[in-house]
């Protein structure tokens, strides 16, 4: 079974990874997920080297189980974040947004496992050629940065599973055990879950942002910045400005100027609900509570087993 | 089991419906699907009353099993198509694109079952209030007309299944038994499949259009006309014109003028690959053959059973 192979690689009980989300995934969330049997990731993308080291050590103080780190490959501070992870001997690294060739071997030579986040089958093929231990196939329904191809989890996961022989984690639109069962039926060995863990007690995000996500309906998120790197975000005053500019035919340069600097921090960490960028997945419309991460894991496992048992065979 | 209830309502062996696709779903395809144990739909949207009557009778000559009809609710010829279906005592009607209140009771009073196609949980609620026998929850990965909300199958299906108590058919991104198993894990009682049946021997679409779809990769479809009724279509010269106009910020009126009249017919039925509209789902990138419809059904059932058996329980 693919999921057993995966749990062996990750050193965890359940094939469930919490995404390394900027401004949400600090030591508390990552440690809580790992302590409950999944793999918790610290989101390196919103940290400098010193802060990342602090969170890695803090997570170790909270659980003896493995905790991983997500590092975007394209950031100014990427080399320093890589150094910290090597130095701290982080056992599992998830790389995203960039070339997987850059650091995969470096981490593996230091004894770590490396997973790379992809949004197309072609990117999955490149990641496998770079020698990764597995890939995360992230569909268009996910929060935050997306690909222009807009492949949904339903289409992307089987295409990636067909393309590569390494384990595939499905991501995008997965918040319940039913959705986890669907992901595994599609050929994934496990799941990486963002939004559901962003909306937990231990998530580091600002309480006002969490509350706004809880109030969100099915129509609250949209993918915008389609001339730049597309991004899924919650409706707010700033997203209205973006949509208006896009509707007018604003150029990629004008859109970048409108985005400016630091808006995700303002929105998700400082709680500026009007002017900040509020990244969240489409599945936020289904979520109405802020449980502890361990309860999310229990509910995913129970829901998965229930959905699985509910599938009757068809007479061939 | 929800899927057994559904097959009872539909009078079929498998919970598999072939979409009533304009220019693809004539009598031959619908009868082949029904004869193989699914429910075949004739696509009324691209027919006038006389042609629809011809196809209904032709299908009856090809199989003794039930065949249904899809009727869009917003077309000029809708009232005449409804009359033909009543007159011919079509046992199952799928309504789409419009208000389900308009004809649901009319068909039911005549002894037919009525399913309505929805793209949001709110639409599903309205369809249930209108008294439908079931709904089709169609995700953003589907071909042809889409909703502005862009809810993917992974997110839409569980939300709709939660919202209504009638049976839910999942649509969008389903071409294999794995994807069918995923849809049922999400809470659907069955599936409505478009693209995979559009690309069969019996599909009435033009051979050149079918061949272009077979050559398509994962990146070949996009949802365009976002200021009007969004539509997913295959890449061609005309779609480049659309994208360029949208990028410039063209208004909804300008986009309608660019679309003009009759382009779907030109593309899908007459084989004008450059200037026609080529509607197809995102999943076309996974499809490389044109089998008979019966082979698609066999492969869906076998693939579903395999995917189902492959899901191991997790230790709670």
Over the stretch B247-280, which tens digit does the pLDDT of each residue have?
999 999 999 999 999 999 999 999 999 999 999 9
Given pLDDT bands bounded at 50, 70 and 90, which one contains residue B282? very high
Q: Distance between CA atoms of B59 and B61, rounded to whole angstroms?
A: 5
Residue B2: what pLDDT? 73
Q: Which residues contact B14 (CB under 8 A, 6 or more apart)?
A: A314, B7, B37, B38, B190, B297, B300, B301
Question: Mean pLDDT throughout B12-22?
Answer: 97
Given pLDDT bands bounded at 50, 70 and 90, which one contains residue A173? very high
CA nearest to A122 within chain B = B218
Chain A interface disruption, residue of B1, B150, B182, B187, most A CBs within 10 A:
B182
CB contact under 8 A, B154 and A140: no
Q: Which two tokens stand for residue B83?
A: 């009359």
Helix axes A153-163 and A177-185, enclosed angle (nearest 10) = 40
Q: Which two tokens stand for residue A77?
A: 């501070």
Q: What is the pLDDT of residues B135-153, one digit of tens each?
A: 999 999 999 999 999 999 9
Question: Average per-residue pLDDT in chain A?
Answer: 97
Q: What is the pLDDT of residues B104-114, one digit of tens each?
A: 999 999 999 99
Q: Which two tokens stand for residue A59?
A: 């997570």
Q: Distance between CA atoms of A224 and B226, rounded to whole angstroms?
A: 12
Contact A140, B152 (CB under 8 A): yes
Residue A219: what pLDDT? 97
The 3-state DSSP class for residue A306 equals helix
Residue B1: what pLDDT? 53
Residues in chain A within 8 Å Cβ distance of B159: 218, 285-286
Residues in chain B within 8 Å Cβ distance of A298: 316
Given pLDDT bands bounded at 50, 70 and 90, which one contains residue B121? very high
Whether the predicted pLDDT of B39 surpasses 80: yes
Nearest Cβ partner for B179 among A158, A309, A315: A158
Question: Mean pLDDT throughout A238-253?
Answer: 97
Q: Distance between CA atoms of B130 and B97, rounded to whole angstroms?
A: 15
Estimate to the nearest angstrom the gap between the alpha carbon of A183 and the chain centroid: 15
Rounded to a whole number of angstroms, the distance between the first and last alpha carbons of chain B is 23
CB contact under 8 A, A159 and B285: yes
Which of A117-131, A226-240, B2-16, B146-160 is the least confident region? B2-16
Architecture label for domain A2-203+289-308? Alpha-Beta Barrel (3.20)
Residue B82: what pLDDT? 98
The 3-state DSSP class for residue A92 equals strand
CA-to-CA dists, residue B7 to A98, B189, B286, angstroms: 47, 9, 28
Can you give the three-state secondary structure of chain B, one letter per residue? CHHHHHHHHHCCCCCEEECCCCCCCCHHHHHHHHHCCCEEEEEHHHCCHHHHHHHHHHHHHHCCCCEEEEEECCCCCHHHHHHHHHHCCCCEEEEECCCCCCCHHHHHHCCCEEEEEECCHHHHHHHHHCCCCEEEEECCCCCEECCCCCCCHHHHHHHHHHHCCCCEEEECCCCCHHHHHHHHHCCCCEEEECHHHHCCCCCCCCHHHHHHHHHCCCCCEEEECCCCCCEEEECCHHHHHHHHHHHCCCCHHHHHHHHCCCHHHHHHHCCCCCCCCCECCHHHHHCCCCCCHHHHHHHHHHHHHHHHHHCCCCCC
Question: Mean pLDDT throughout A144-172?
Answer: 98
Residue A3: what pLDDT? 77
Whether the predicted pLDDT of A273 surpasses 90: yes
Query: Beta strands A231-234 and A144-145: pairing type?
Result: antiparallel
CB contact under 8 A, A154 and B176: no
Q: Which residues contact B102 (CB under 8 A, 6 or more apart)?
A: B73, B95
CA nearest to B223 within chain A = A150
CB contact under 8 A, B282 and A159: no
Residue A4: what pLDDT? 73
Nearest Cβ partner for A218 among B14, B120, B219: B120
Contact B220, B205 (CB under 8 A): no
Whether the predicted pLDDT of B85 surpasses 60: yes
Nearest Cβ partner for A187 among B152, B178, B305: B178
A&B contacts, CB < 8 Å: 171
Residues in chain A within 8 Å Cβ distance of B286: 155, 158-159, 162
Contact A16, A298 (CB under 8 A): no
List, in sequence order, every residue forming a beta bridge with B96; answer none if it has no partner: B72
CB contact under 8 A, B219 and A314: no
> Which residue in the block uniquely carries the two structure tokens 């939300």?
B159
CA angle, B3 as apex, A217 and B188 as ends, to 5°? 20
Residue A1: what pLDDT? 53
Residue B3: what pLDDT? 78
CB contact under 8 A, B121 and A218: yes
Whether the predicted pLDDT of A316 surpasses 90: no
Instruction: Supply φ then ψ for residue B279, to 5 degrees.
Output: -75, 135
Residues in chain B within 8 Å Cβ distance of A219: 120, 149
Question: Mean pLDDT throughout A154-174?
Answer: 98
Domain ranges of chain A: 2-203+289-308, 207-283
Residue A83: what pLDDT? 98
Estimate to the nearest angstrom the gap between the alpha carbon of B212 and the chain centroid: 20
Q: Distance between CA atoms of A123 and A117, rounded to whole angstroms?
A: 9
Nearest to A151 by CA among A189, A115, A123: A123
CB contact under 8 A, A183 and B182: yes
CB contact under 8 A, A305 and B314: yes
CATH number of B2-204+288-305: 3.20.20.70
């Amino acid at each position: 079974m693919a999921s057993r192979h995966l749990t062996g690689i990750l050193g965890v009980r359940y094939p469930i990874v919490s995404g390394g989300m900027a401004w949400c995934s600090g030591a508390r969330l990552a440690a809580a997920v790992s302590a409950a049997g999944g793999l918790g990731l610290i989101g390196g993308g919103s940290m400098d080297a010193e802060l990342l080291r602090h969170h890695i050590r803090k997570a170790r103080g909270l659980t003896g189980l493995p905790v991983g780190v997500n590092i975007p490959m394209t950031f100014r501070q990427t080399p320093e974040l890589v150094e910290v992870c090597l130095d701290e001997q982080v056992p599992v690294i998830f790389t995203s947004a960039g070339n997987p060739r850059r650091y995969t071997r470096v981490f593996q030579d230091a004894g770590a496992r490396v997973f790379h986040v992809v949004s197309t089958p072609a990117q999955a093929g490149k990641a496998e050629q770079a020698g990764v231990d597995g890939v995360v196939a992230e569909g268009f329904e996910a929060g935050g940065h997306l690909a222009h191809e807009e492949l949904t989890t339903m289409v992307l996961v089987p295409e990636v599973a067909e393309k590569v022989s390494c384990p595939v984690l499905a991501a995008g639109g997965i918040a319940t055990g039913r959705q986890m069962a669907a992901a595994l039926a599609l050929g994934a060995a496990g799941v990486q879950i963002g939004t559901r863990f962003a909306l937990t007690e231990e998530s580091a995000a600002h309480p006002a942002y969490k509350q706004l996500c809880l109030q969100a309906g099915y129509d609250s998120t949209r993918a915008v910045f389609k001339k730049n790197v597309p991004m899924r975000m919650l409706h707010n005053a700033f997203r209205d400005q973006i949509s208006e500019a896009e509707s007018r035919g604003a150029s990629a340069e004008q859109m970048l100027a409108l985005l400016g600097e630091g808006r995700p921090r303002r929105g998700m960490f400082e709680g500026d609900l009007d002017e900040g960028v509020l990244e969240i997945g489409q599945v936020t419309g289904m979520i109405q509570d802020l449980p502890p991460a361990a309860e999310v894991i229990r509910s995913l496992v129970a829901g998965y087993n229930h959905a699985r048992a509910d599938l009757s065979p068809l007479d061939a």
